[in-house]
Amino acid sequence: MAIGVGVELGPSALRAVIVERAAQLKLLAAREIPCDTANAEALTRTLTQLRQTLPIKTPIVLGIPTTSAIVTTVTPLIPNPARSGLGVQFELQQHLPFGLAETVWHYQWLSSANGHPKRKFGLRSSEFGVNIPHSAFRIPHSGGAVVGAMKRSLLEERLTCCHRAGLSIRAVAVNALATLNAWWRDPSRRDADATMLLNLIDDQTAEWVLVAPTVLRIVPVTGSSAEALGQELLGVWEALRAESQSPAQRVWVTGQAASWPKLQQALTARGGVRVERYEESAVVTNAIADATPLSGKFVTAIGLALQGVGLERLTLNLLHDAQGREQTRLVRQVATVTTAISVVASVALGLTGMMELRHRRLRTLEALQQQERLYQTLRPDLRELLQRQQHLERRIQQLERLAGQGTALTQLVAQTAQLLPDDVWVTKLEYAKSLLVGAATASPAEGVEGLLEGRAKSFQALTQFTDRLKGIGGIAAVKPLSTNVTTDAQTGKEVIVFAVQFQQR
């Protein structure tokens, strides 16, 4: 039976849970302690109190507030996941307000690219000797990688607080992604639908998570009061729906806030979406002795604990590089001892092998550096070619629409010619694309508005022609503008000069 401990650092409180992975996922303990987690001394005291009140015997998964990290999705121009680590690094630099050397970051591919299999990310052993299992996943996105990043000094400050409180760290994740991992555990969700998650952290802090087949967006929201937070959440919700190609038809809400009842009414009234609560019971079975109702406050902490027992779907660990270096250091120590023994047995053979290994590493490093320089050189040209291709595709679509409209107008002229009686002839035909608004149309629609001028030998022939014109399919309105009797200069007979306006949908 695996045990997972998730500790969520919120802006005004610290939440922790312990879960057990057996035949079913059980919630063994849950605690919420008020704390200013941005204050190092206060955080150390609270973590110490947490360790004393909860039976924490395994390394924890620490959750960093979304406002303290950067979570973004990048699409490198090198599409092969096995070779595009440098591409992800280069794209990440565009999103950072500080240098990459000051940053800890980790990424995971959202899906396969160009037919290559998904990359499996295994987290190496931590600084405290903890082994992290491998995990692979598939989520409904394509073409990029989700990246989490944080300033190194800020993360080291949080880790120091944990070490002083006597806690060891298995992984460091971002809270919003932990909430998403917990939501993915619910069997009632649907991968194909665009869905929005709303995590109400407290009365002044919340975050939107947009999940769709081609989108993964995380937007933290803050407000000076509960009512101001509600207004900000509605504004961000409208913006996310406007930029989404397939607007979400369902909103899942977890957490607690005083603004929730009014916010629920506003979301339902404005967008007509389904608004549903998402609570811990959808993820785990409550096995706490007092069976205290949780009401959605611990969903994020449970998502962190899922990473501790290997049930997470999206794995980001900001300690990935540090744990890798620690494993490399241990491997080097073992290699040093082994090499010393080997040197005693066979100095010449060992020295030859070490030199060959060193040369291989140098050649590999030179090849990687050359690839990085080539990528940075070709990136602007590739961007320009992609833009040209998109422009050409838009022009082709416009020409196809014009060709379709031209065919319809040609048919209209041919039908008008066939309907002309023997005593009526047309001298002028003008038409233009316009917006049809009037009694003949139920609502404004695009169509063709035309002006037809000609001559008739009698009013009966003119009436017969206008009646036939109204019978053409798609004609929305036919309106005579003028009828004047005049004498034909060539024949000397009276003729009727007329003008008729028509609209075709």
Q: How many CA atoms lie within 13 A of 166 on its CB side?
A: 11
Q: Quote the CA–CA distance of 439 and 101 in Å, as a whole number.
A: 67
Mean pLDDT of 99-115: 72
Percent of the chain with pLDDT over 90: 16
Q: Which residues pair with 484 in a beta bridge?
A: 497
Average pLDDT for 274-279: 83
pLDDT surpasses 60 at 373: yes
pLDDT of res. 436: 64
Q: CA-to-CA distance for 155 and 480, rounded, in angstroms?
A: 79
CA dist 467 and 147 (Å) reads 68
* Pairing label, strands 121-122, 169-174: unpaired
For the cut 50, the answer to whether the pLDDT of residue 191 exceeds it is yes
β-strands 145-151, 134-135: how paired? unpaired
* Span of 300-309, 435-444, 477-486 with lowest mean pLDDT: 435-444
Residues 6+ apart with CB under 8 A from 485: 494, 495, 496, 497
* C-alpha span between 109 and 85 (Å, rounded): 10
**Burial degree of 387 (CB within 10 A; 0-12, 13-18, 19+):** exposed
Which range, 14-23, 96-105, 338-347, is most confident? 14-23
Ranges 198-212, 303-317, 325-339: which has the least confidence: 325-339
Q: What's residue 186's pLDDT?
A: 78
More confident residue, 105 or 263: 105
Q: With contact defined as beta carbons under 8 Å apart, do 49 and 165 qualify? A: no
Distance CA 119, CA 73 (A): 16
Percent of the chain topping pLDDT 70: 83
What pLDDT, in 10s, does the model give residues 448-485?
A: 788 889 888 888 888 888 888 888 777 778 888 888 88
In the predicted structure, residue 330 carries a pLDDT above the cut 60: yes
Structure tokens given for 299: 């969903």
Q: CB atoms < 10 A from the CB of 205, how many?
A: 21
Q: Which of 272, 237, 277 is nearest to 256 (CA)?
A: 277
Q: What is the pLDDT of residue 406?
A: 60
Cα dist from 289 to 26, 28, 29, 30, 50, whole Å: 12, 8, 9, 11, 18
Q: For residue 417, what are its two tokens?
A: 């010619």
Per-residue confidence (pLDDT) for residue 331, from 0 to 100 = 82
Average pLDDT over residues 365-378: 81
Residue that wins the pLDDT comparison between 221 and 126: 221
Residue 133 has what pLDDT? 35
Q: What is the spatial distance between Cα 143 and Cα 121, in angstroms, rounded to a whole number?
A: 17
CB 175 within 8 A of CB 69: no
Lowest mean pLDDT among 46-60, 239-253, 459-473: 239-253
The pLDDT assigned to 102 comes to 86
Task: Evaluate whether 372 touches 84 at the Cβ level (below 8 Å).
Answer: no
CA distance 180 to 197: 8
What is the token pair recorded at 326? Answer: 């620690």
Choose between 415 and 168: higher pLDDT.
168
From CA 451, how far away is CA 331, in angstroms rounded? 86
pLDDT average, residue stretch 198-213: 85
Higher pLDDT, 437 or 256: 256
